[in-house]
Structures are given as structure tokens and as C-alpha cells.
Chain A
Amino acid sequence: MIRNQLLVCAGGACITSGEKSVKDVLVDELKKNGIEDEVQVIETGCMGACDLGPIVVVYPEGTFYQKVTVENAGLIVNEHLVKGRTVSELLYSEPTSEKKAQTSGDIPFYTRQVKRVLRNCGVIDPLSIEEYIARDGYFALGKALEMTPDDIIGVVLDSGLRGRGGAGFPTGLKWKATRAAQGSPKYVVCNGDEGDPGAFMDRSVLEGDPHSIIEAMAIAGYAIGAEQGYMYVRAEYPLAIERFEYAIGKAREYGFLGRNILGTSFSFDIEIRIGAGAFVCGEETALLRSIEGKRGTPSIKPPFPAQSGLWNKPTLINNVETYANIPQIITNGAEWFRSVGTAKSPGTKVFALAGMVQNTGLVEVPMGTTLRELVFDIGGGIPGGKKFKAAQTGGPSGGVITPDYLDMPIDYDTLKEIGTIMGSGGLIVLDETSCMVDVAKFYLGFTVDESCGKCTPCREGTRQMFHMMEQICDGKGKDGDIEKLTKLGKCIIDTSLCGLGQTAPNPVLSTIRFYEDEYRAHIYDKKCPAHVCKHLLTYSVTADKCVGCTACARQCSVHAITGEVKKVHVIDQSKCIKCGSCYEICRFGAIRKE
């Protein structure tokens, strides 16, 4: 008889912070106390609050233990499970009030979320198909098989679901076009390439709730008339691949994949294709070439994959998060789906909250949630009392949201209006210590590396833009650079072959739009206002603060600092390499950085 269940988060972040050893300690301690038959340990998918990991939740109480280590994991068994005493040192305490939270229901990070896509992540054992079924899994497939394909597509259209990979194209239209297309066989593909730096919602769904994607792909197969599906997932996601592979095996065993599913004439199966990690393979045409075993380069659209995709056959391709919505739409209906979100962007969106924010991790909120709610209410604000400067969305294809837009409801269309994109949901918070020119240069550097080289505007254009950004950050910016960057950026957007090039200039154009003064400070005043760009910094000694302790002179590796004991020291600017070590070592705050 089981009296308690311990749910241990086995998401990527918790595994990295030591989940496996924590779990081993729990299992050992249970055995030592002879209660291993009464207490069950279950590993789940990502619970979302990644900076609190490893996380252990004790049921039936729902007690939420965070930052559990090998040293203190034993307390959960010896105190909580044996003696009935909550281990208060492992509870989460609210940073402002220092109030201890007993369950996840007491933590604002969780209470403000609406979990649909992530509803099973962190709740069920991803390796258990039975637990997925217990949470209404595969009932949507059963229901779909009793509907006509056109009715299913009608429900998806009515739901207003838009592509969660970033572009926001209406999912129902893709399904309709693929069903209507001539050609046989047809294919269903899931895009699990997820290349945006910082975004990991697709990985979390594949790791934490793999059956939801299998079910959705089978429904899609029935709706468009396909018998074969491909799951394309990047090689950097070994755990997602392992769990998805296992889930496919279980689904076959239970007859949700294979011949004559649920006793009908419908047959469908899925194979995994592993990508080698090229960013461009997240672009649908490049992804399809990669599945075919060819080099992953994009091709001109039209023809769209719906008409001519995999092996030139009609192909439906959707992103992981998009598919994750499908079973619930079929089960609960289009109206239910529209009950949260905005009129043009119904439903929820998962964001990967990162950067200069207290609570990082995966959060799922209704579309139309404001940035203020995301960063301050859920994210807990900026650490160290620093000022919020901007949020970067859409990764290397997106731009920034400034403090002026903190109260704007976020959806596909509002973000587009201010020059950024939803993207796959990466949301990186920047504070006053971030240089916007440097941030834009970072993202541009990423796309320069990841450009496949097929079309000239993207291959050469982004490189030229990157060169100019480097010059600006190095203090070699010239009058006219801002105008040139803008012109070249717009030209690359207009003339590139695929989405990668068409969005690559966004980080630069967006930061020029909102932070032109920072670009001007770099170019004309040769200053970096945020003190990030090394070449634009000057270190000098404030005479009345310097006590002549000689610490800086001894620290300086290029002997740029001279001065006698107990006398004011001087930095020779011609020798200084701006490493900042004098600034770090001075105990009197006498080194000035500007």
C-alpha cells in the first residue's frame, strides 16, 4: 500500500543540478528506513521553476521542496516521511516577505500560470503511458476517429490556433491545404528543432509529455490523410529523443500507432529523425531536406510544404508546442480553446524566462498577458534592485520590448507592430547593465554563424552588418553607420530566401529603433553608456580616493599603473588593455570606469 509519492523533477535543468544523485539518496534512505514499499519515487518532466531545482514534491500534501542537495535529501525521508515534520529549510521562501511556501500553490510563479501545453509536465511520469491515459490521454484520438477529417480541420480552424514555432500562421489553414493537396502518400512532420538560444519549451514537452505529441500527430495524420509521421528533433536533446522513442514503442504496443488504430481502418506510424543542430533546419523547407538525408538548405516558397514537401509529396509540418494544443482542442472544443488569450491570438503561450530576472524557467500564460506580469509578477522582478531595461523576444530573429511597452498585451500582432516577433517563446530580460549594441551584435553573430550560405543577402549581408557592429563596439564606428545598417538590414529582409535571413537583421533594426542614442554614443562620443564594450572604456584613478596601497599596480599585468607607496597612482592610457582587474581589486573605489 502506497502512502506517499515523491515526484522528482527530471527536466533538463534539474538533471544538470544533480537530480539523479538526489533521487538515489531518496531511494537509499527509504530503504534504510524500511519504507520503500510504502513510498513511491517518480521522476517527472520539467516542473518549470528551473532555478529552484532539483525539485522534489511530496504527495498527498503537495509539499514543494526546492534546491534539494545530496546532503539534505535524506531529511525529506527522515523528517517528513518518517516523523511527519516538514523540512522547512527546503521550502521556497518569498524573496520580499520571506514567507515560506508549503505547496506550489503558494508560489506566485505558479499561481499566475495557465497550464495547458504543460499540463502534464511535472505531474505525470513521462515513461508511463497509463498515467497519460489517466489524464485523458488518447481519448482525443478516439474522439477524432469518430469524426470526419473535415470536421476535425473545422474545429482546428475555429479554435484560431496559430503556429507556436514563431510565425503564427493559422494551423487550421495548413491542415486544410494539406488535406486538399493532390498527391500521395502524404506526410505529417513535427518540428522539434528548437534552435533559438534560450528557448526550451519544446524539449520540455517532448521530455515531460511525449504522448501528447504522438496523439496529436496521429490525429493530424487522420485529418490530412497520411499514414507516416516524422518527428524531427535535434541531436542536442538526447533525453527528449530517448523518452520520445520509448513513448513511440509504448504507443505501438497499445495500438495507438500501427495498423488499424482503435479498431478502425486508419493506420499511422511515427519515426524519429535526428538533426545535427543547424539553426537553419528549424526552417521548414530546410528541415524537410534534412529528413530526406540531404543538406539542410531552404528552398523558395511557393510551393509550400502543403503542396510539395517531403519527397515532393504534400506534407503537414507543425511545431511541437502547436501539436501539444491539438488533443485538448479536440477533447474540449474550439470555444474552450478561445476562452483564454486574445481574439486574434487565442490560447496560451509558453515562454522561457531567462536573463536578469529573479525566477527563471518555463512559464505558460494566456496570450495577451503583459510583459509587466511576466517579468515582475511571475518573474519576481530584476535581482539586485537594478532597473529593467528591455526584454528580448524571438531570439536571433526578434527584437526588444522597451519599458514603454511593459503594459502592452503580448500577442503575435502587438509584437510585430513594435518590430519584434513572438518567435518560439524565448524571453530574455535585460537590465541597465546590458549594452543594447552589444546584445544586437551577439544575436547577429549567431545568425552569421548559422546562415547556410545558399543565398547572398543572408550569407554576405549579415556578415557585413556584423563587421560594422564590431567596428562600432570597438570604437571605430563612423558617421553614417546607423543609416547604412538600417538600409542594408531592410535589403536583407526583402531579398533573403528564407526566414533565417528575412529576420536576421531584426535585433539590429529593433535596437536602432529604440536605442539609437546608445548607437550614437558608441559612434560619435566613443562611449558605451552601459560600460560593456571594452574598447570604449577608460579606467582612471580618482586622486582623492587613492591611498597609494599599490594593489592595482601589482595586479596590472601590462605594468600600465605607476605610483609610489602612499601616493596617488596613475594609469598610462597608452599601455592600458582595459582588462578591468584594477577596478576589481581596488578596495577604496578609487578606480573610475567610464
Chain B
Amino acid sequence: MKSLEELKRIKEQTLKEMDLRQAKERGKVIVAMGTCGIAAGAKDALMAIIEELEKADIHDVKVVQSGCMGLCDKEPTVEVAMKDQPAVIYGDVNDANARRIVREHVQGGNVVADLVIKRENI
């Protein structure tokens, strides 16, 4: 360690690893991990979301899990609850859809209309 620049580099790098422990104020993505969700591939959705957020360098959004919300037919389901918007629930979230939700909704701020669970379909 010879300089403050080197120190800053370690700080930035480690902060990423400690990211899960930081306060995340902008919102959260909730992945339903009931037995039905897991069977339908919720784990893949969960990991895809975490990976995509990391890729997009987004650190102020929490990814948490919940139990089954009763929409077993639409699993895997993912709820995006950003602070300044009403919560949106997506259904049939596979790996590719999960990445779209992060890119278009969390990053871009636009609801991914074709993946939203529609009331008439419940």
C-alpha cells in the first residue's frame, strides 16, 4: 500500500461485496419462493435478477424473497416495488423475463406491460 488511490480502489471493490448489507432506499424486488415458485423456477429468476442488477451497477434496490402469494398458476412471480410507484406483480418470470424486468422496469422505469399479471387472467 503506497498511496491513497490504492486505498480507494480496495474500498470500492469491497463495498460491492458488502453491498447486501447497505441500506437500499429506492425500492425492492420480491421473488416469491414458495414450493410452487421454486418448482416453476423461481431460483433461476432470483439469481438472474441479482446478476442483472450487478451488471447494471444498481445498488439501491433490495432483492428479497417471500413465500407463496397464492398465484401458483403464474409462478414464478416477481413483485417490483419501487418507492415512488405502485407495486407491480409479474408472472411467468423465467430467466430472460427476469432480466427484462430489471432492465426495463428497475433501470428504465417502464413497466414491462406484457409480463404483468392481468386481473382478468387470475
Closest A-chain residue to B31, C-beta based?
Answer: A84
Cβ 8 A contact of A131, one of B18, B51, B63: B18
- For residue A84, which residues in chain B have a CB less than 8 angstroms away from its CB? 31-34, 37, 64-67
Closest A-chain residue to B15, C-beta based?
Answer: A134
Write out, one digit per residue, whether chain A residues 138-182 have a CB within 8 A of any chain B CB (1) or not (0). 110010000000000000000000000000000000000000000
A294 within 8 A of B: no
Q: Is the CB of A83 within 8 A of B18?
A: no
Q: Taking A134-B10, A134-B11 as contacts, is the C-beta distance between A60 and B24 under 8 angstroms?
A: yes
Chain A stretch 103-134: residues in CB contact (< 8 A) with chain B? 123-124, 128, 130-131, 133-134
- The CA-CA distance from A305 to B79 in the complex, in Å, is 64
Q: Is the CB of B20 within 8 A of A2?
A: yes
B21 within 8 A of A: yes
The number of chain B residues with a CB under 8 A from chain A is 33
Give the distance to chain A from B45, nearest Cβ to Cβ, in Å: 11
Most A CB within 10 A of own CB, among B7, B34, B46, B54: B7
B3 within 8 A of A: yes
- For residue B50, which residues in chain A have a CB less than 8 angstroms away from its CB? 1, 3
Tell me if B's interface is mostly helix, strand, loop or mixed.
Answer: helix
Q: Is the CB of A85 within 8 A of B11?
A: no
B38 within 8 A of A: yes
Q: Is the CB of B34 within 8 A of A136?
A: no
Cβ 8 A contact of A255, one of B2, B20, B63: B2
B107 within 8 A of A: no
Most A CB within 10 A of own CB, among B1, B24, B47, B62: B1
- The CA-CA distance from A273 to B25 in the complex, in Å, is 45
A469 within 8 A of B: no
- The CA-CA distance from A84 to B65 in the complex, in Å, is 4
- The CA-CA distance from A123 to B10 in the complex, in Å, is 18
- For residue A3, which residues in chain B have a CB less than 8 angstroms away from its CB? 20, 46-47, 50, 63
A482 within 8 A of B: no
- The CA-CA distance from A365 to B100 in the complex, in Å, is 46
Q: Is the CB of A133 within 8 A of B34?
A: no
Q: Is the CB of A60 within 8 A of B63?
A: yes
Chain B stretch 1-59: residues in CB contact (< 8 A) with chain A? 1-4, 7, 10-11, 13-15, 17-18, 20-21, 24, 31-35, 37-38, 46-47, 50-51, 54
Q: Is the CB of A138 within 8 A of B3?
A: no
- The CA-CA distance from A133 to B6 in the complex, in Å, is 11
Q: Which residues of B contact A (CB under 8 A)?
A: 1-4, 7, 10-11, 13-15, 17-18, 20-21, 24, 31-35, 37-38, 46-47, 50-51, 54, 62-67
Q: Which residues of A contact B (CB under 8 A)?
A: 1-5, 7, 38, 59-61, 80-85, 123-124, 128, 130-131, 133-134, 136, 138-139, 142, 254-256, 262-263
